[in-house]
Structure 1
Amino acid sequence: MPSFKGEYEHSVDNKGRVAFPAKLRKNLAPEAQEKFTLLRGLEPCLYLYPQDEWERVEDKLSQINSFSRQGRTVKRNFLRFAEDLALDKQNRISLPSHLMDWSGIQESAIFIGSGERIEIWSPEKLDEVDSELSFESYQELFEKVMGGQHNGGEL
C-alpha cells in the first residue's frame, strides 16, 4: 500500500497538463499502472487516487445503501465529477477544465501526499485554508484525532 507524503509545486500549461512529481511517482504501486481517478475533494482541492487505491474506495462506496437518501446523495456527489486519467509519455496528467475551475487551479498546482491519495491544490486556496488554522488549533486537532490511538509509543 503506497504512502504518499510531501508537498510539490508544478506549473500548469495552457492545456491543463501538469508534471506528476517524481517522488510521488516512485511510491506508485505497480498495480496502479500509472492510472488514476481524479475528483473533487471535500475541501476546495482535487483528490487523485492511483488505480489500485481507487478500487478500494469503490469497494467502500459499493457498501453504501443506495436505497437511502443519504447514501444516494453521498455517492452521487462524490462520483459525479470523477475522471479517469493516465500519465502521458512526459509523466504529466491532464486536469479537466471543470475541475480546474472548481478548485481554482490556474498557472500552478500543489501536490500534497496524503497517505493513500494525493491532494492537488491551487496555491491561493491552500494559503486560505492554511491561514485559517493556527498552530495551537492544529495541535488541539492532532491530539483529538491521534490521541485516542494506542500504537505503543509516541509519534
Structure 2
Amino acid sequence: MLLGEYRHNVDTKGRLIIPAKFREQLGPKFMVTRGLDGCLFGYPQAEWEKVQTEINQLPFNKRDARTFARLFFSAATECELDKQGRINLPEPLLQYAHLQKQCVLAGVSSRFEIWDAEKWDNYNDQAQDDFNEIAENLLDF
C-alpha cells in the first residue's frame, strides 16, 4: 500500500526522487501517466494492468471514453529507477502537471500522485476545509 506525503525537487533534466518507501512497493519498473486534478498518477505494474482492463472496458463508441483513454494511455511512460532512486519524467508529463521545482509525492493506496508543491498545498487546504462534509456525503454510498 502506497501511503504518506513526501517532498522532493524535480531537476532541470526532469529527474525526480521516488521515496524509498514507495520504491519497495513499486518494484523495478512501474507506470506514470496523466492523472486527474492536474497531477500525475503512478502505478505498480500489477495495479496498472487492472486499470488498463477497466479503461479498455469503457464503451469505445462514447466520445468521452475514447478521449479519456487516448489522453490517459498516450501520456503513459514506463519508469525505471536509476541508482539514486530517481525516475526521468518526459517533458509532456512535466508540462501537464506544471512540475518545475518542488513536488509532492502522495501515496493514495494502490497508486501514488505527483503534484506541483504549490498546487498540492492549495488543493490540500481546500480539501481539508471540506473533509468532514466529503466524508458524510461518501457515507451515503
Q: TM-score, normalised by structure 2?
A: 0.90
Q: 1:4 aligns with which of 2, 5, 14?
A: 2
SS of 2:104's partner is strand
Q: Is the 8 A contact 1:109 1:123 kept in 2?
A: yes
**Contact 1:35 1:87 (8 Å CA) reproduced:** yes
Does the alignment pair 1:39 with 2:33?
yes
Instruction: Compute the TM-score of the two structures, normalised by the length of structure 1.
Output: 0.82
1:50-109, Cα deviation, whole Å (9 max, x unpaired): 111101111111211212323212212222221121111221111112211221211221
Question: Who wins on radius of gyration, i.e. which is larger?
Answer: 1
Superposed CA offset, 1:11-46 (max 9, x none): 222211111101122333xxxx42111111111111
Deviation at 1:131, TM superposition (A): 3.2
CA contact under 8 A between 1:85 and 1:93: conserved in structure 2? yes
More helix by share: 2
Structure 1 runs of 4+ aligned residues shifted over 6 Å read: none
Q: Is the 8 A contact 2:25 2:44 kept in 1?
A: no
Q: Which runs of 5+ in 2 are unaligned?
A: none
Instruction: Among all aligned residue pairs of Structure 1 and Structure 2, give the percentage whose two residues are the same amino acid.
Output: 39
Number of residue-to-residue matches in the alignment: 141
Aligned residue identity for 1:6: G
Unaligned 5+ segments in structure 1 are 150-155
Give me the CA root mean square deviation: 1.7
Match of 1:124 among 115, 118, 127: 118
Q: Identify which of 115, 122, 131 aligns with 1:138.
A: 131
The answer (yes or no) to whether the contact 1:9–1:109 under 8 Å persists in 2 is yes
